Every structure is written in C-alpha cells, then in structure tokens.
Amino acid sequence: MRTRSGQDLQQVRRHLIGTYAFGIPGEEALDCLARHAPIVEVGAGLGYWARCLRERGVDVVAYDAMSDQWQAWFRPTVLERTAGGLVARGDPLRFEPVLWTEVLEGGPERLAAHAERTLLLCWPDLWSGFDEESLRAYEGERVVCVGELGERGTGSDGFRRLLGRAWRPIDDAPVPRWPGCDDHLVVYARSASRGTSRTTSRASLSSRRPLKLGARSSPPFVHSENSNSATSLGST
C-alpha cells in the first residue's frame, strides 16, 4: 500500500513531468549530449531537454507529433493540498501545453533529413512504437536513449529488441532519478554501418512547421547535484 508521502510524491512527480519532462536533464547528461551534437530529437514533448541544450549552445532540432491525447496529458497542472494529500489538478486558467522552446510538428518520418545528427529519444512511450519507427527511419550513426533500461524499461518491445540487435553502447551519463526509477542516458552506435548516403531531403525540410502551443519565457531549471537553486522551478 502507498503511504501518504508516497502518494504526495507521485502527485508532485505528475505535476513536474507535465510542466517539464519525463526525463530529468542533469549537467552530466547535457554535457554528454553536447559531446554528440548536433542532435535531432523525436518525441520531444514540451521541448524541455531541447531548451536546456539550446541554452548551452547545442544545435538541436526537436520534433513531436503532440496528438490530442498527449496534449491532454501535457495540459498544465497546479498542485493543491487537500485533506487527502497533494493533488495535481488541471490548471483552471491554462488548457494547452506550454512549450519551452520551438518544437516542430513531426515524428519518425522527418528523420530522413537528419542523418548527420545524433538521434535523441527521451522516455519514448511503451505503446505507440514511434521509437522503433524512428530507429528504422534514421540513417545516421548515433542514438541517445534516456529512460529505464532492460526488458521492462522505457519504450516499446520492438524498439528495445532492435536496439539490442543492431546498436552497441559507446558512451553514457548518469541522469537524476525519481525514487523508484532507474533512468540512464546511453549513447549507441550502429553495430554495422549501413553505408548510408548523408543527403538532406529538401522536401521534408521545407515542410517544417512549429507546434502551435503556448510558449514559456522563463529560464530552464537544470538539476545539478551541486546546486541548491531551484528558483526558476515555479516561475513561468
């Protein structure tokens, strides 16, 4: 049975994921991504990782399909203290997700134009399969995955199978974790080069459209073991 403080923590987590991201970007994780830049991110959510990377000068192109279902999930929340404990409720004043930076509309079908970039997948969901599709569509040489590893880890079964079969880990970095989570950042290289051409599809570049959602102007908060400053967490 969950304790009251455990339930409170889940609600805080729900609120912060809905405001920022599923994965928590720490300094070491961002440094590692910077080493493997430029980056193309698919399933970027609210663009929090992309924003943190851009703030440190990393070249990132971020995509998300943001279906109605995900828009509802990323609807801003407020934390309320009730008799039963903390509850993350839909913000009565804001209904649509608020982006941290420019996120372009699109998914795996955009990757043909980005073979020269490292593909970033942060906490792909377990069921849609866009992660496996991305891996199949991507013609570049490096993929970075943020999430839980192993058979019951982040992403779809097909994605994890393909990753294990055709890619090998070459770099990693610790990622800050919520209690009970076991997040890692792992960089993979293709096990065998496919000898792909690195041409850029002009057609898909010219159809780039930003997601039309709310935008946020406050600076990002990056978790750091040495930092006790969380001042930008509440400011939007």
Q: Which of 16, 29, 32, 44 binds ligand SAM (CB under 6 A)?
A: 44
Question: 95 is written with which tokens?
Answer: 């209904």
Residues with Cβ < 8 Å from 149, sequence gap 6 or more?
182, 184, 186
Beta bridge partner(s), residue 98: 214
Q: Quote the CA–CA distance of 101 and 215 in Å, as a whole number.
A: 7
Is 204 a binding residue for ligand SAM by CB under 6 A? The answer is no
Query: Is 213 among the residues that bind ligand SAM (CB under 6 A)?
Result: no
18 counts as binding ligand SAM under rule CB under 6 A? no
The Cβ-side half-sphere exposure at 202, using a 13 Å CA radius, reads 0
Pick the binder of ligand SAM from 55, 102, 125, 148 (CB under 6 A): 125
Task: Work out whether 123 is an interface residue with ligand SAM (CB under 6 A).
Answer: yes
Q: Select from 23, 25, 140, 220 the one that contacts ligand SAM (CB under 6 A).
A: 23
Contact status, residue 42 vs residue 140, Cβ threshold 8 Å: no
Q: Could you say which of 9, 10, 112, 128 contacts ligand SAM (CB under 6 A)?
A: 128
Q: Which residues bind ligand SAM (CB under 6 A)?
A: 21-23, 42-45, 63-67, 70, 107, 122-125, 128, 130
